[in-house]
Amino acid sequence: MFRKRTSQERFWETLPGLQFWSVFFGAILLSYYRPIWAAMFIICFDLYWVLKAINTASHLWSAYKKFQSFVKIHWIRHAEQLIDIPMMLNFLQTKLASAQDKTEKKYFKNEIAKIVLLLKKGVKSLDFLGYYHLILVPFVNESFEVLDSTVSALAGAEYPRKKIILVLASEDRAGEQAQIIAEKIKQKYTLDFFRIFIAKHPDGLPGEIKGKSANASFAVRSVLPNLKQLGIAVEKVLVSNFDSDTIVHPQYFAKVIYEFLTAEKPYNSSYQPIAVYNNNIWDSPALIRVISVSNSFWQFTESSRPDRLRTFSSHTMPLKTLIDVGFWKKDIVNEDGFIFWQCYLHFKGDYRVVPLFIPISLDTCLAPTTWQTLKNQYKQKRRWAYNVEYYPHLVPKLLKLKAPLYDKLYKLFQYMEGNFNWATASLMISTLGWLPLFLGGNRFNESVVALNLPLITKTLMNVALFFLIFSVYINLILLPPRPKKYSVWRSVAMYLQWFLVPLASVIFGSIPAIEAQTRLMFGRYLEFWVTPKARFGENTGLTMKGMKVATVANDKLPITNNK
């Protein structure tokens, strides 16, 4: 059941939908009554998005270069070397002197600065073995195969097994089958983790909506007594809230603990990997592949802009911080993004998300039929776009927050602009841009602006097309090898699919965002919708180029399972 909203909450819930529909109908009216004004606005809007495309492409390339370097680093060795920080400093200085690549040089300079800061604080030794990873895998009706591949990747991570605790967070409403699957997973992997706990979240608890946030919060609360009994302090635990289809990189936990131990304020930080949707991408329809790759590119781009980066999907944070902010909010659909705002408000603006530039792989939307796959993708995007639900919880508190004025207003602007652009940008570029030509009448159509509008728009879009080609290049590098069951024509389709970008950006970009904002506007609230998981072949996961060997700079080191 949804609780009754106050008048102030309803005002904030109405705002995003009101913004969109005002612009939508305003564009139509302006195109009819003031077509020249509308045309000039459209030209400026298109120019803005071309510049945005250039900026996005530059950040995508920057993030990809870091990604390319970081997946080659043997992070478990870095974590081990923190036991002797002066020696670690010497190691980094040596590597900086021999580094050839600009990305590597910048990395070593940043790491040296962090190590020097630790030494100035009097810290000469940090033992990563004093910390634990608590991994939550909430699930409802996922199959054994999906959960098995997730837990198998966790068990295969290059990290001491006695420092990883797994929690399988099931839902009571999923019935006996979910419990059978959880027990089967526990029995199979019991020797691969320090402990495996099964938490069964009761249905219909007061103040909750059905969703991942309530399940995850219940799971953590239920495990806390076990941690206390084992003598594990919450300050020594990092909690990862993973989607049920998450395939982690072997170095993920080592990278997280290294960043945590070397962070200036480790408890004021969350740790965000880059999500790629490679598990079943070769099996997905072309439209779904375009959307999934675009999602990954968004993660790459945001990772290169730490001021914009927010927690999304699977990520890690300190357990102490999670407890301090009251766990995940149980009446929120999209808990992954809102937990950042909970922390930002709690620490009065002194909170950040650390980009890891290490990948995790997730499933694309996939169902037995293409039509059902497309429906599922739409529902998933609508759920993501429903982060406008944060407005009544966030905006009033953010405005009153005693934090640096520029920082909080800038973050508020980023949040509001992101949701506004989500609903309007694709629709404005592809559809509304032609309204002045259709509604402006003969007087406008004979004007200089009207004669040049198609040419100007075409030129700007051709510039944007160049950066789309650049994106195709990055996609092909990140793509897993083609499964043997597919012919070379499937690879050709990976090129041709990009012609579907305009269609995909409207149908699976603007429209679900418009629906989410309009639903919230009229109080027709959404519940958490679980994306069905399906695999029709092998899980290609993290088999992209550069995943086989971990190295420190150019020193090749074989990956061993350091249990």
Q: Is 446 exposed, middle or buried (0-12, 13-18, 19+ CB in 10 A)?
A: exposed
Among 140-154, 195-209, 548-562, name the one with the lowest average pLDDT. 548-562
Please determine, for residue 458, whether its predicted confidence score (pLDDT) is greater than 60. Answer: yes
Query: Over 80: is that where the pLDDT of 559 sits?
Result: no
pLDDT at 540: 58
Number of C-beta neighbours around residue 66 at 10 A: 21
pLDDT in tens, 356-378: 999 999 999 999 999 999 999 99
* 66, 477 contact by CB (below 8 A): no
Q: Which of 234, 134, 164 is nearest to 562 (CA)?
A: 164
State the SS3 of 475-542.
HHHHCCCCCCCCCHHHHHHHHHHHHHHHHHHHHHHHHHHHHHHHHHHCCCCCCCCCCCCCCCCCCCCC
pLDDT at 477: 86
Predicted confidence at residue 224, as pLDDT, reads 98
**pLDDT at position 549:** 38
Tokens at 140, concatenated: 């409802």
Neighbouring CB atoms inside 10 A of 94's CB total 12
* Ordered DSSP codes for 244-284: TT-EE-TTHHHHHHHHHHH-SSGGGEEEEEEEE--TTGGGS
Where is pLDDT greater, at 478 or 464?
A: 478
Beta strand pairing call for 247-248 and 352-361: antiparallel
The pLDDT, as a whole number, for residue 439 is 85
Domain ranges of the chain: 84-121
Residue range 83-134, pLDDT digits in tens: 999 999 999 999 899 888 888 888 899 999 999 999 999 999 999 999 999 9
- What average pLDDT score do residues 129-154 get? 95
**Per-residue confidence (pLDDT) for residue 556, from 0 to 100:** 32
pLDDT above 80: residue 264: yes
In the predicted structure, residue 560 carries a pLDDT above the cut 70: no
Identify the pLDDT of residue 41: 86
List Cβ neighbours of 455 (8 Å cut-off, separation of 6 or more): none
pLDDT at 18 over 70: yes
Say which residue, 448 or 55, is predicted with more confidence.
55
Q: How confident is the model at residue 538 (pLDDT cuts 50, 70, 90)?
A: low
Q: What is the mean pLDDT of residues 8-35?
A: 93
CA 144 to chain CA centroid, Å, is: 25
Position with higher pLDDT, 464 vs 35 = 35
Residue holding tokens 């950066």? 467
User: Is 313 or 477 the better-scoring residue by pLDDT?
Assistant: 313
Q: What is the pLDDT of residue 48?
A: 87
Placement of tokens 């004021």 in the chain: 268
pLDDT in tens, 470-529: 788 888 888 888 888 999 999 899 888 988 988 999 999 999 999 999 999 999 999 888
* pTM of this structure: 0.91
Average pLDDT, the chain: 89
Please state, for a pLDDT cut of 90, what percent of the chain lies above it: 69
Is the confidence at residue 331, as pLDDT, over 60? yes
The amino acid that residue 161 corresponds to is: R
Average pLDDT rounded to a whole number, residues 319-344: 96
| pLDDT confidence band for 256 (50 / 70 / 90) | very high
Is the pLDDT at 66 greater than 80? The verdict is: yes
SS (H, E, C) 402-444: CCCHHHHHHHHHHHHHHHHHHHHHHHHHHCHHHHHHHHCHHHH
Nearest-angstrom CA–CA distance, 71 and 407: 32
- Number of Cβ atoms within 10 Å of the Cβ of 152: 16
Print the SS3 string covering 129-173: HHCEEEEEEECCCCCHHHHHHHHHHHHCCCCCHHHEEEEEEEEHH
Res 182 pLDDT > 70: yes
